[in-house]
A and B are shown apart, each in its own frame.
Chain A
Amino acid sequence: MERFRYFIQRTLFSMRQSPLLCSATIGTVAIALMLLAFFTLIVLNIQNLTREWSQDIQVIVYLDTVPSDAKLQQWMDEIQQYPDIEKINYISQQQAFDRFHKRLGQNADLLEGLMPEILPAALEISLLEVARSREGTERLIDLLKTNKDFHNFRYGQEWLDRYDAFIFLLRLTGTMAGGFLIFATLFIISNTIKLTIYARRDELEIMGLIGATPMFIKAPFMAEGACQGVIGALLALGGCHVLYYFFLKKGLAALLTTTAAENIHFLPIEYQAGVVVLGLLLGFIGSLLPLRKFVRI
């Protein structure tokens, strides 16, 4: 208990004792994590946007003849058994005709005198988000082809190819830039903390001489690093929120439509907690690395 109290006292005292070094560390953590958090915010919002696009990914099966209710139910039950199916919609000839009529808008009079029967009935099959890709779509079509009644499909192949390529690029860029940012952050934080530890190397030496165990010497420094990491992370979230509000929310609202700006969201709470935990870990590990060099008994 005495030891625990000592560690807390030392941690708080050290932070008060060298406010400049402490502020430098917190500032470094804050800026580094703010960049990381803002980058994550942008990636997440792009992902959200693409998720909305991906809702358009569906397989349409055109039917040669209008099925009986029993037959339709049988097909729908059968398709529902396939993996990753989100929903199945039956579009009757009348519904297809109405949609077409609506889409033509001012040119709808072109359809005058035509009967709904000119358009085929169809099944619109939506996939779960995990399967909304070229692969998932082709897997579904292979399964659909096992039913001899289905042979006319449409699934926007070109669009899917471009969508897949974009998602791949987004993930690759996200992973690479995110990984780079984390390493750069760790490097910068570790070096800043190294400077603070270097400034207090006499203290480390004296602690070692009077019989402090390596852990006893390191613990207050690691606790200090973790505290600075958490404070830096909270500042980073604050800074990120300011950037989000003024650049993304207000800035984009001026450029794009209001609806598009409304779809931009701040980091979800679990990501915010993640930034704080990351700050804590970076501060902790950032202290541990130089301490390994300086604390040698």
Chain B
Amino acid sequence: MIQLFNVGKIYKNGAPALHDVSLRIPSGDFVYVTGSSGAGKSTLLRLLYCAEKPSRGQILMGERNTTRLKSRNIALLRRDIGFVFQDFKLLNSRTVFENVALPLQVQAASNQEISSRVYQVLQYVGLEYKLQRKPLELSGGEQQRVAIARAMVVNPRLLLADEPTGNLDHDLAVEIMEMFNRINESGTTVLIATHDKEMLQRFPRRTIVLHNGNIVSDSAPPEVTDNEEGL
């Protein structure tokens, strides 16, 4: 369960990014955070994975108050979170296998465990035959699948994705969204920041709409229309 209580964020340059945001995301939920550029979607995600501290308010992840965590505990918290980004954030100097194995190495898993788990998860995203390739030798969709495999390899309780289909064409985007649905069905909470209206309509789920750092709508099932404020 993720809970935000009156969370506000003002950056050091004085720019306000979020105002008084309160919300609750139960475990196993699938949530979209949407809104126009600068609405605060990425800031919300950054607050959830502790890349930023809120200027005010409290954030609870399970029983942990993330606003009070020290560096080491933030690192431990992130081991329960999978990340998928628009620009994939893969290490281009390492193979697909090494990229996906990274979170397990961080957690000091044995070589045997790493091998079997990485193969399993690459099979899940359909890339088991490309494990010795480097990311730049893959298509955009394949790179995003590697990123998803890396996020899933540790069985995270929460999956955060920031514009995961932003760099992909329509068919690949649908494929990736279907993958997120399957991940959610296995019990992982999924939170996706996106402004891809087509995907919101095609895969309708609870949708939180942000505008200028405020929640303007929190609906399930979604009611996303072309003239909705904030989109």
Given A2-B110, A3-B108, A6-B105: A208 in contact with B75 (beta carbons within 8 A): yes
Q: Which residue of B lies closest to A213 (CB)?
A: B75
Which are the 9 A-B pairs with shortest beta-carbon distances? Answer: A211-B79, A211-B78, A210-B103, A213-B75, A212-B106, A297-B71, A3-B108, A211-B75, A2-B108
Return chain B residues, CB-CB under 8 Å to A3.
108
Among residues 90 to 138 in chain B, which have CB atoms less than 8 Å away from a CB atom of chain A?
90-91, 93, 102-103, 105-111
Q: Quick one: which of A2, A17, A206, A297 contacts B75, CB cutoff 8 A?
A: A297
Q: Is A124 in the interface zone, CB < 8 Å from B?
A: no
A-B contact list, 14 entries, CB within 8 Å: A6-B105, A17-B93, A206-B90, A206-B91, A206-B102, A208-B78, A210-B78, A210-B106, A211-B77, A211-B106, A211-B107, A211-B154, A213-B75, A216-B75
Query: What does DSSP make chain A's interface, helix, strand, loop or mixed?
Result: helix
Among residues 248 to 297 in chain A, which have CB atoms less than 8 Å away from a CB atom of chain B?
297
A202 to B99, CA, bound (A): 13
Q: Is A209 in the interface zone, CB < 8 Å from B?
A: yes
Mark each residue of chain A from 211 to 248: 1 if its CB lies under 8 Å from any CB of chain B, else 0: 11110100000000000000000000000000000000
Q: Quick one: which of A202, A207, A214 contacts B72, CB cutoff 8 A?
A: A214
Number of A-B contacts (CB under 8 A): 57
A17 to B94, CA, bound (A): 10
* Interface residues on chain B, size class: 20 to 34
Return chain B residues, CB-CB under 8 Å to A17.
93
Q: Is B76 in the interface zone, CB < 8 Å from A?
A: yes
A212 to B103, CA, bound (A): 8
Return chain B residues, CB-CB under 8 Å to A214.
71-72, 75
Q: Is A164 in the interface zone, CB < 8 Å from B?
A: no
Return chain A residues, CB-CB under 8 Å to B102.
206-207, 210
Q: Is B150 in the interface zone, CB < 8 Å from A?
A: yes
Among residues 135 to 164 in chain B, which have CB atoms less than 8 Å away from a CB atom of chain A?
150, 154
Q: Quick one: which of A6, A203, A211 contacts B91, CB cutoff 8 A?
A: A203
Q: Which residue of B lies closest to A2 (CB)?
A: B108
A213 to B74, CA, bound (A): 8
Return chain A residues, CB-CB under 8 Å to B77.
211
Q: Is B180 in the interface zone, CB < 8 Å from A?
A: no
A216 to B71, CA, bound (A): 12
Query: Known contacts A2-B109, A206-B91; can you find 18 more A-B pairs with CB under 8 A?
Result: A2-B111, A6-B105, A203-B91, A206-B89, A206-B102, A207-B102, A208-B78, A209-B83, A210-B79, A210-B102, A210-B103, A210-B150, A212-B106, A213-B71, A216-B75, A297-B71, A297-B74, A297-B75
Q: Is B32 in the interface zone, CB < 8 Å from A?
A: no
Q: Is A205 in the interface zone, CB < 8 Å from B?
A: yes
A214 to B108, CA, bound (A): 15
A210 to B159, CA, bound (A): 12
Q: Quick one: which of B76, B78, B111, B154 contacts A209, CB cutoff 8 A?
A: B78
Return chain A residues, CB-CB under 8 Å to B71.
213-214, 297
A30 to B167, CA, bound (A): 45
A202 touches B91 (CB 8 A): yes
A211 to B51, CA, bound (A): 12
A207 touches B106 (CB 8 A): yes
Q: Which residue of A lies closest to B71 (CB)?
A: A297
What's the minimum C-beta distance from B67 to chain A, rounded to whole angstroms? 15
Q: Which of A211, A213, A216 is the most central at the interface, judged by chain B CB atoms within 10 Å of its CB? A: A211
A216 touches B89 (CB 8 A): no
Return chain A residues, CB-CB under 8 Å to B91.
202-203, 206
Q: Quick one: which of A2, A6, A202, A213 contacts B89, CB cutoff 8 A?
A: A202
What's the minimum C-beta distance from A285 to chain B, rounded to whole angstroms? 21
